[in-house]
Structure 1
Amino acid sequence: TKSQNNPNVPLVVWECVEHVRQFGMKMEGVFRKSGVKDRIMALKEAFDAGIAPKLNGEADVHNAAGCLKLWLRELPEPLIPFQNYKAFLNASTVEEYSKLIKSIPTINQELLSYLCQFLEELSTFHQITRMHTKNIALVFAPNLLRSEVEDPMEAFQNSDKKIDTFSNIIKDVYPIFRIKRKPKQEASKSDDLRTSSSQIAFV
């Protein structure tokens, strides 16, 4: 099911990303810390049925993050197709990544662009969240960059390459996808007043 807000993005991706964007950008360990397994599965079942479940503020940040990771992990073929896997691992420049991005299906390009723009935005809060690009890539790269047939030894040998590759794509998402950075929207008063649990100081 596609999101009505962005027809190029599946409902599950849109809802989970936008929930984290609204409530979790200053939450330590977002995407690294685990959510509640039963809650994540309940969210996934709702999305699979084409229903956008109610997500509850900060309480559901790690669950929404976990649901997004699960959806990406369970794709029959990752957003970066199997046939492009080795080429991406061997790339190292913006020009090479950009050319490879153009070679994957358009729907994959659109979704990967949306996801990477969000992750680049998330990385700017790394001093609070401890999720700089390398840590984000550590979480996402295994779900986005994988071989169709990869033995455990090969997977281990390529793990650092996967992380470096996806970290580079996040950092240079705008020139790689040849898009302009959108002006940062003025934060609402509620955003200014919202404080994540990780920032509250107890006296």
Structure 2
Amino acid sequence: KCLREIETEIGAQTTALLPSILSHPVRMLKAVQDLLNETTKYHADYNSLHNSVALYRALCNNTNQYGFSSENISKLQELQNKIHGIEDVLTIAEPHRTFLKEGFVSVDFDHSKSRRSKRDEYYTFLLSDLIIFTKRQAPNSILKKRGVSHSYQYVEHGFLYRAGFEFDDVRRSIRLICPPNVFCMYWDKPDYQDSWRSILSSVISDLQRPKLFGVSFRELMLSCENQKTIVPNIVVDCVQFILSKGLYTRGVFRELPFEEEAEALREALDHEEAVSFEESSPLTVSWLLLRWLRELPEPLIPSSFYNEVIATTSPEEAQKVVEKLPVFNRFTLEYIMGCCECVVSHKKSTDMDAIQLAVLFTPCLIRRAATGFGVDNLPSCIQFVIYLIAEFNTTFQNVTTDRIATETDDKRKTELFK
């Protein structure tokens, strides 16, 4: 609602300022629209792309006329799925502005007349080059300067600032993208300005720091400086610990850890602190792996494969689905399912079988876009994951084509877990 009101005020394109629930499909659709301008009509995907853009425009017109609804959001997600399999869309025409984060930022204000300080919180949308603050107007706010022909206004529903890039001086990076009489924070004292710059600097620094949880698989693999394998470090670390310490732990993956310990470990990992699992319980580390999978914006088995997953009736068919997955997803899935297969092989000590593990992993690995699971399809999704675990050597036997074909399954698994 806030963003639609901003559009009314300044004529901005709200599709560039969408919160997380809508940002990903819109980015992809706009990328397709950009790609069309560079694609010949003889390209195999041209008609499909053209149709998707036409549907997207129709949806935008409908939204402008009647407003956003759950039905429109569902249609937007369906459009995203239609173009998900088209290669190079995100690499050839990566949009300049991307949604990064949303949350609260606290700011201290000093009301000069009353000599009292006040702390205000702003709900904040952080994009790759933009920060949006939203809050209703405070009648005596210092953000208003009166007695000037073009008075500075604290707009009722929000104001925008440019965010600095990685090597920008923060003082130079506070640049308004709109006319000052529309969006401006006015401070007439240097200490106010320094306070604001300090806050903005910390926000930008936090924004630029790589995250582990809640970021896309692609973003994680590209942003992690210490990433040396095609499987994310967090997955490797969790799996290695479970294989060394968790194969004799009853209820690994099933039993819940101590909440405080688990959340503290997750927070430390997400803040890029040097973390060792040595003092942790296998239950905590197995919970951490499930949590990481569950928080992926796009599941490890992308939503575009959902219909193929629920149609699978054999390990051989499951193998065909796995072979189509993006390479990083494929190797990571194999790594995790191999760990599960090892847990099942130690069933006497872990008290875990393939069915129990599949029930736990299915919601983390497979999701239908926008609407989640359908009740009727949940058993089919669980059965698919059972194939991946119980028939590990069958479903993954031809996936990693760079391995020597004559290797035994044991040798191949040993190589996989190096």
Query: With structure 2 as the length reference, what TM-score do the two structures score?
Result: 0.41
1:22 aligns with 2:241: no
For the residues of structure 2 that align with 1:135 and 1:52, how far apart are their CA atoms? 33
Q: CA deviation at 1:135?
A: 0.5
Larger relative contact order (C-alpha < 8 A, sep ≥ 6)?
A: 1
1:7 aligns with 2:229: yes
- Kindly, what percent of the aligned residue pairs are identical? 28
Corresponding position of 1:163: 382
Give the aligned residue type for 1:18: Q
1:56 aligns with 2:278: yes
For the residues of structure 1 that align with 2:362 and 2:244, how far apart are their CA atoms? 23
For the residues of structure 2 that align with 1:164 and 1:40, how far apart are their CA atoms? 29
Q: Deviations over 1:98-133 (max 9, x none)?
A: 221121111100100111111111111112222100
2:291 to 70, 82, 90: 70
For the residues of structure 2 that align with 1:172 and 1:134, how far apart are their CA atoms? 12
Larger radius of gyration: 2
After the TM superposition, list the runs of 4 or more consecutive aligned residues in structure 1 that deviate by more than 6 angstroms: none
Q: 1:2, 1:10 within 8 Å by CA — same for their partners in 2?
A: no
Corresponding position of 2:267: 45
Cα RMSD of the aligned pairs, angstroms, is 2.1
Corresponding position of 1:84: 305
Give the aligned residue type for 1:164: Q
Q: CA deviation at 1:51?
A: 4.1
Corresponding position of 1:181: 409
Q: Deviations over 1:56-86 (max 9, x none)?
A: 35x5211111111110000001111001012
140-149 or 89-98, larger mean C-alpha shift: 89-98
Corresponding position of 2:354: 133
Q: Deviations over 1:159-195 (max 9, x none)?
A: 222221101111122221225523487xxxxxxxxxx
Change in Cα spacing, 1:45 to 1:78, as seen in structure 2 (3 Å) is same
Q: Which is richer in strand?
A: 2
> Mind listing any 5+ residue stretches in structure 1 that lack a counterpart?
186-203
82-91 or 176-185, larger mean C-alpha shift: 176-185
Change in Cα spacing, 1:52 to 1:99, as seen in structure 2 (3 Å) is farther
The 3-state SS of whatever aligns with 1:182 is: helix
> Mind listing any 5+ residue stretches in structure 2 that lack a counterpart?
1-223, 399-407
Change in Cα spacing, 1:79 to 1:3, as seen in structure 2 (3 Å) is farther
Q: CA deviation at 1:97?
A: 1.4
Aligned residue pair count: 181
Q: 1:3, 1:14 within 8 Å by CA — same for their partners in 2?
A: no
Change in Cα spacing, 1:2 to 1:128, as seen in structure 2 (3 Å) is farther
Q: 2:248, 2:350 within 8 Å by CA — same for their partners in 1?
A: yes
Give the aligned residue type for 1:21: L
